[in-house]
């Protein structure tokens, strides 16, 4: 995120709130790098465990059981949960497998779903397949979701 991008949000009086799973708070950390970030960053939810996704964001256990925590369905429920629980203009959410373990043939390590949704709008989601070690996957996830957000502004 650049100062110019932050200024767009501030000038519009728009707030961001996040739901983070595999990034473990790195999106929030990136968004708060700037002095005065409280003008555009509301806060977020660190929902690493599936039960946290359910309890804090209202993700349905049936969604996780039927499609998995790393799915577009879960991601969309995470986005809606953020919008239902905060005054944010924009919800950002990420769920994925940072690796090196935890993957499967269908969803190997590096599989990440990212999404943004403007209040009153439709979720914009994207499935990514990142390569590299755990830090690279997490860093790529942060970069990708912020690029997706700013492509929607």
H or E segment to which residue 118 belongs: strand 111-118
**Superfamily the domain 3-152 falls into:** CinA-like (3.90.950.20)
What's the predicted TM-score (pTM) here?
0.95
Q: Bridge-partner residues for 127, per DSSP?
A: 113
Buried b / exposed e across 130-139, counting CB within 10 Å, b at 16+? beeeeeebbb
Question: What is the spatial distance between Cα 16 and Cα 87, in angstroms, rounded to a whole number?
Answer: 9
Question: What is the spatial distance between Cα 60 and Cα 121, in angstroms, rounded to a whole number?
Answer: 21
The residue ranges of every structural domain in the chain are: 3-152
Tokens standing for residue 134: 């755990």
Distance from the first to the final alpha carbon of the chain: 13
Checking if the pLDDT of 2 tops 80, the result is: no
pLDDT tens digits, residue range 51-93?
A: 999 999 999 999 999 999 999 999 999 999 999 999 999 999 9
CA-wise closest residue to 60 among 75, 38, 46, 48: 75
Report percent pLDDT > 70 for the chain: 100
Question: What is the spatial distance between Cα 31 and Cα 36, in angstroms, rounded to a whole number?
Answer: 10
């Amino acid at each position: 995120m650049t100062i110019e991008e932050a200024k767009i949000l501030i000038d519009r009086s728009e707030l961001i709130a996040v739901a983070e799973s595999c990034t473990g708070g790195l999106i929030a950390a990136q968004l708060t790098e700037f002095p005065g970030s409280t003008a555009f960053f509301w806060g977020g939810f660190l929902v690493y465990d599936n039960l946290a996704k359910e309890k804090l964001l209202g993700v349905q256990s049936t969604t996780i059981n039927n499609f998995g925590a790393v799915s577009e369905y879960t991601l969309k429920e995470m986005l809606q949960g953020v919008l239902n629980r905060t005054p944010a203009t924009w919800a950002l959410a990420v769920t994925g497998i940072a690796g090196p373990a935890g993957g499967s043939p269908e969803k190997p390590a590096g599989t990440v779903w990212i999404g943004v949704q403007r209040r009153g709008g439709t979720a914009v989601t994207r499935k990514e397949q990142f390569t590299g070690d755990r830090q690279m996957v997490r860093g790529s996830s942060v970069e990708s979701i912020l690029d997706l957000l700013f492509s929607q502004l």
